Amino acid sequence: MSIIFEAIVYLAVGSAYWWWAQNLTIFGLAPNLIFAAALCSAILAGPVKGVAWGFFLGLYADMLGSDMFGGYALTYTLMAYGVYIIKRHFDMDGLFSQLVASLALSWLSILFYQGLVISFSRPGHLDLRIFLAEPFLNALAVPVMFQVFYRLKRGLGIL
Amino acid sequence: MSREKDAANYAVVFFTAVSILLLLFPVSKIAHTVRIAASYSLYPSLHYGARYTHYVRNVPDNFISLLETDQENRALKDKVRELEVRLQNASAAAGENERLTKEMGLSRSLPWGGVWSRIVNKTPADWYGSFYIDRGSESGVTVNDTVLGMEQGKAGLAGRVLEVYPKFSKVLLLTNGAASAVCAIGPEGLEALVEGKGTWMLKMNYVPEEAVLTEGTEVVTSPGGLLFPPGVSVGKVKKVYPRESSMNFVTADVVPSVNVNTLKEVFVLRRSLPEELLGPRQAEKK
């Protein structure tokens, strides 16, 4: 049963991000809810499920984009694994650690993805505005998303 | 713990490999199939999202609109309050207009010429002593001009002009302790002196003892008094005091014809007074 709820949550996250990017952008900026969901699921879920969530959320992000297919999937997969490693040493449930993690991982993800773009697709063009601003928006979104996922985990047994 | 770690390692290797394959072979059949499958799996969320987006598409705009409406609502409430105040002022002005119209009608019926004036300042410390009116020498007001008030459609003596300035004047009320007027009592025309007491009541002195003085007897200005035109209502007798043995006249309390508390406009009579009754400046002008 939980797999159905997980699928619903997964689609809801993707749709929410898509809708937000359509309607609620401020100066063309929006928090990357897919990234936030990948990070939160990596924190809350077990290692396999966390990595799987990262992969599938990355696929969703790839599907929304027109660039190379699989770049975000690889990025979020590795990020989820990194979080699995980190959370064995640090308490990731706290607000401060989530803020720091989301900031650091946002920048790492962007850089890593740009590296993939350069490697597999074409010369990358990193949008400096997104590179500088999006991690902060993500840092705001992650604690909220974490609370939502935490309650869904307790209520529906997902993750 | 080791099993979990192994599972995590396997998972990350597996998903990383899949991702790299997708990246490496974007146009290969497998990658294409995965992409198509993923798209078919995920597009419904976009499809239905787009289909029902009209329910939520305008949420930001509606939210802003709601805020603007709220601001507009507040502004309108302020405006309504302001309009209510204006309405109250308008009704007061309408009342004043009605009253003035009535009084103007009366002024036309008065045998004297003059100018209507509004009371602009009453001093609480000198409530029954004096007040200021908004007409002065520029309007032809001179010292000792008679000031009439209107009470229940009838003109009554309020006082006289004490000081004149270009745009306003000070009126000495008859109720002032320093004010007095020679009056005639009843049809006989017996004269007496009405004096102010500094209260709302007037005192009438030097009433000849043969005068028939009862409560309610009307007192008007006498032709013998030069300061005020004759026949102007001063008030009505309220109480008659018995003659004292040492004096040969009686006294009485008189209720003034004009109630200072409700007076808002006055009529200043323009009269050709003798020079000795004019102030020095007016006498010089003449």
Query: Are the C-beta atoms of B181 and B157 separated by less than 8 Å?
Result: yes
What mean pLDDT comes out for the span A104-122? 87
Q: What's the structural domain count of chain A?
A: 1
Q: Are residues B140 and B92 in the same domain?
A: no
Pairwise CB contact (< 8 Å): A63 & B38: yes
pLDDT reading at B21 higher than 90: no
Give the residue among A135, A121, A123 at the shortest CA–CA distance from A66: A121
Q: What's the structural domain count of chain B?
A: 2
Domain assignment of residue B4, yes or no? yes
Q: Are residues B83 and B138 in the same domain?
A: no
Pairwise CB contact (< 8 Å): A22 & B53: yes
| Final residue of a structural domain among B76, B109, B142 | B109
CA distance A18 to A38: 15
Per-residue DSSP letter, A125? -
| Final residue of a structural domain among B74, B91, B109 | B109
Q: What's the pLDDT at B47? A: 64
Domain assignment of residue B286, yes or no? no
More confident residue, B256 or B187: B256
- Model confidence over B61-86: pLDDT tens digits? 777 888 889 999 999 999 999 998 89
Search chain A and give the residue with CA nearest B4.
Answer: A47
Pairwise CB contact (< 8 Å): B20 & A59: no
| Final residue of a structural domain among B82, B109, B136 | B109
Question: Measured between beta carbons, which residues in chain B are less than 8 angstroms from residue A62?
Answer: 22, 38
Domain ranges, residue A96: 2-156
Locus of tokens 């200072």 = B260
Q: Are residues B104 and B118 in the same domain?
A: no
Option in B12, B35, B46 nearest A18 (CB): B46
Q: Are residues B129 and B262 in the same domain?
A: yes
Question: Measured between beta carbons, which residues in chain A are less than 8 angstroms from residue B28?
Answer: none
ipTM of the complex: 0.85
Q: Are residues B170 and B253 in the same domain?
A: yes
Question: Measured between beta carbons, which residues in chain B are less than 8 angstroms from residue A70?
Answer: 18-23, 26, 31
Domain assignment of residue B185, yes or no? yes
B3, B15, B30, B64: best to mutate for the A interface, most A CBs within 10 A:
B15
The phi and psi torsions of B148 (rounded to 5 degrees) equal -110, 145
Question: Measured between beta carbons, which residues in chain B are less than 8 angstroms from residue A80?
Answer: 12
The CATH number of whichever domain residue B139 belongs to comes to 2.40.10.340
Q: Are residues B93 and B132 in the same domain?
A: no
Per-residue DSSP letter, B168? -
How would you label B241-270 residue by residue, b for 16+ Cβ within 10 Å and e otherwise? Answer: eeeeeeeebbbbbbbbbbebeebebbbbbe
Pairwise CB contact (< 8 Å): A70 & B46: no
H helix or E strand, kind and range, residue A32: none
Q: What's the pLDDT at B286? A: 45
- Model confidence over B181-201: pLDDT tens digits? 988 887 777 888 999 887 888
What mean pLDDT comes out for the span B44-51? 63
The CATH number of whichever domain residue A16 belongs to comes to 1.10.1760
- Model confidence over A23-81: pLDDT tens digits? 777 777 889 999 999 999 999 998 899 999 999 999 888 877 766 788 899 999 999 99
Amino acid symbol at B270: R
Amino acid symbol at B247: M
Question: Measured between beta carbons, which residues in chain B are less than 8 angstroms from residue A59?
Answer: 38, 42
Domain ranges, residue B96: 1-109
Q: Are residues B253 and B120 in the same domain?
A: yes
